[in-house]
Amino acid sequence: MLAALTALTMIAMQPASATQWPGGARAAVVLTYDDALTSQLDHVVPVLDKAGLKGTFFLSNVKRADVARWRAAAAEGHELANHTVFHACAAAQFSADPRYTTEAYTPASMLTEIEQQNVLLTAIDGRDAHGFGLPCGKSLAGGVDYLPPLRTAGLVTYVRGALNSMDELAADVSTMDSMHVPATDFPDGVRSAQLIAFAQKAVDGGGMAVLVFHGVGADYLRVSDADYQALIDWLLAHRGEVWVTTLQGALDWARAHPGTKE
């Protein structure tokens, strides 16, 4: 009875038109991991599995030696998503062979690459449809925005877009443009306090927080194992307020459970 009253109180405290998350949770927190880094298989998947949580992994440049473990992660309920085959970024943003910079692409060649990464993902996880995360958070190919043709082509179920868009946290996720899902990445060596503060901001705003990780305990743009574990522990301790799910899971739920209108 007390639990029911508490749940009702929490729903009443949410801003009008906020998404009604399952179990009376005040916010959805989505843990995403970019670039198919082996440290994610070594240091993230076991921690999430032990905690009973699911993550979303944006794969690019997939290593042959890791395919079986990505397949196993997908079979356990983690989401595999498209991050292109080669992860092209603007030449000025990320040093790379000039053939693999976005200046060398056209929207058509980028869409072809995204389609081929979908084929690879389907071969790994057996799923027909996948979400997409923009490499380096940008959608230019040869100086042209490829989001309009990507939307028309219907190749992906959503686009995790520009990074560090905290202002959109409180938006009604059910009406959010799924081709512009905001997300936030963190600097190398980020501490757990900053990660937890971001999740808390989502709780306060009643929306969805999409966190972007790269290396965990190894690789680049790294968070330490201890700081990562502290975030997971905080999420588990706040299970009543926070729903941790995949990005596809959060968007599907929000679409099916529109917010209350005034």
Q: Which residues bind Zn ion (CB under 5 A)?
A: 34-35
Please, which residue, 86 or 198, has the CB nearer to Zn ion? Answer: 86
Least Å distance, CB 165 to Zn ion, is 16
Least Å distance, CB 33 to Zn ion, is 10
Please, which residue, 6 or 93, has the CB nearer to Zn ion? Answer: 93
Please, which residue, 27 or 183, has the CB nearer to Zn ion? Answer: 183
Please, which residue, 21 or 132, has the CB nearer to Zn ion? Answer: 132
Least Å distance, CB 138 to Zn ion, is 11
In angstroms, what CA-CA distances link 109 with 56, 100, 129, 166, 192? 25, 12, 20, 31, 40
What values do phi and psi take at 221, rounded to 5?
45, 60
Give the separation between CA 247 and CA 232, rounded to whole angstroms: 17
Ranked by CB distance to Zn ion, the top (closest) residue is: 34
Please, which residue, 11 or 147, has the CB nearer to Zn ion? Answer: 147
- Token readout for 94 is 């990320």
Least Å distance, CB 100 to Zn ion, is 13
